[in-house]
Amino acid sequence: MILSKLKIEIEPLLKNADELWFAVALIKDKTFEYIQNTIKENCIQHHIVGIDLPTPPSVLRSMQAKQEKGLFECAIYKSDFNFHPKVFLIRSNDGYTAFVGSSNLTDGGFENNIELNYNTSNQSDCLDILNWFNSLYKDGYPLSDENIHEYENQFESLKDIEKELKKKRKSVHLKKPNPVFNSIDAIDFTDRYFKKEHHWAFRKELWYTDSEEAVDERELARSKCEELHDYVFPRFKDYGIQILEPNPMPDHLISMIRQIDPTKPRAINAMWLSYGKSINEIKKYQKLVGRDQKAKQTFIHHARLQIRIDIKNIGIWLLFAKENEGGLFDREFFKGQMRDRAFREKFFQMIKSLPHEYFISVGGGSEFCNKFTSPEVLHDFTKKDNNQMYFIIGRDYEIQNDEMSETNLPSEMLKVFKLLFPFYEMMRHRI
């Protein structure tokens, strides 16, 4: 049987394994620990690991510690040629099962990369693999302090070489015959704040993957957003919006570049930098809700001003969270306020004062703000609010817009934030 996602198929077998044999070119800490946490405590393990690819020395140390406790043996394989197999053999009461293919013992190999593995339970084939493993193991080097120390001394320079090689491989530009024209190719990014590589990171083929390529490309976009934050945030006071705070969790200043749950991937089709309620405000909300709801009362679950980049646009918005993301406080507050005639009139006048490019999006439908003819018409539109969808007021920019240049984008972001800030103050819930 041919498999693309090794983890899904191998995990049930690992849980019931009595003995296993792994021969791989590369092992990473996280995936090694996953194996150890999945198998039974008395499972017997045999490993052969190569060092031609950058297996971290910490993995070898972890293996050495297990080796000293018994039920575990490992050999380092090194020769004049690359050690490149990816072989997994598992024995249980049902006999042997083998997986042979392209997956290393890494997150990418087990879950994210485009891989091809073949699964067989043919006992004769499995015994042939076992014989192959045993003959190879005899030629391996012991997992001794001396050998690990020697590898540790060389590892950092080897890692640097690998990084340089990776860059060089990425710089190879291959061409397909009769390529499909992409509109982004026609744009001159010379003076754009966000360059082609920042937008290109959110093309559809990367939405649901955490491949090395996808994560590396998203990291470039994240770095550019962090650069933008470093410039604009110290200037909030000059624009009268200093109460706005970034996400208090440093690792979440910018939206995620990896899947939160790889088993249930969500489309990473954009990236955003947001500002909203302070950590002290958030803590007050967490005290209001039950323990089971506390996780739905963090920074991202409340009203916020944000800049958002995707494959072809840049949006600067006021945004309210969805119900299942904790956004009921702000949403319900606004709905209640809109029942008051004076509030409806004021909100209508504010909406009408926005430039013609600004839109309001409610329940999945959008209208330009200058299209509303009365407070009642606007109220009827907001009644279409669906708590499972974002509530947005703002504008979108095409990449080529003058406002999105290297020089203009930071000041445009501050200008729009100042323009939308009264809406944020008017519509958000307070304790």
Tell me, yes or no, whether 178 lies in a domain. no
CA nearest 228: which of 174, 159, 274? Answer: 274
**Residues 133 and 254 reside in one and the same domain:** no
**Residues 224 and 82 reside in one and the same domain:** no
Tell me, yes or no, whether 171 lies in a domain. no
pLDDT of amino acid 177:
56
CATH number for the domain spanning 397: value is: 3.30.930.20
CA nearest 48: which of 82, 73, 13, 14? Answer: 73
Tell me, yes or no, whether 297 lies in a domain. yes
* In the predicted structure, residue 315 carries a pLDDT above the cut 80: yes
Domain that holds residue 247: 192-427
Average pLDDT, rounded, for the chain: 90
* In the predicted structure, residue 254 carries a pLDDT above the cut 50: yes
d(CA 197, CA 125): 47
Mean per-residue pLDDT, 169-181 = 62
**Residues 372 and 254 reside in one and the same domain:** yes
Q: What is the pLDDT of residues 333-371, one digit of tens each?
A: 999 999 999 999 999 999 999 999 999 999 888 999 999
Tell me which of 5 and 273 has the higher pLDDT. 273
Max mean pLDDT range (286-295, 318-327, 355-364): 355-364
Domain count for the chain: 2
Tell me, yes or no, whether 177 lies in a domain. no
**Residues 6 and 78 reside in one and the same domain:** yes
Tell me, yes or no, whether 349 lies in a domain. yes
CATH number for the domain spanning 119: value is: 3.30.870.10
d(CA 302, CA 48): 50
**Residues 93 and 231 reside in one and the same domain:** no
Is residue 36 helix, strand or coil? helix
pLDDT of amino acid 260:
86
Tell me, yes or no, whether 107 lies in a domain. yes
**Residues 43 and 135 reside in one and the same domain:** yes
Q: What is the pLDDT of residues 402-429, one digit of tens each?
A: 999 999 999 999 999 999 999 999 999 9
d(CA 301, CA 383): 21
Tell me, yes or no, whether 404 lies in a domain. yes
Q: What is the pLDDT of residues 145-154, one digit of tens each?
A: 899 888 888 8
pTM over 0.75: no
Q: Please classify residue 307 by burial: count the beta carbons closer than 10 Å to its beta carbon, then call 0-12 exposed, 13-18 middle and 19+ buried.
A: buried
**Residues 216 and 309 reside in one and the same domain:** yes
CB 97 within 8 A of CB 119: yes
d(CA 341, CA 327): 24
Packed helices 145-170 and 57-68: angle between N→C axes, nearest 10 degrees: 150
pLDDT of amino acid 199:
96
pLDDT of amino acid 80:
82
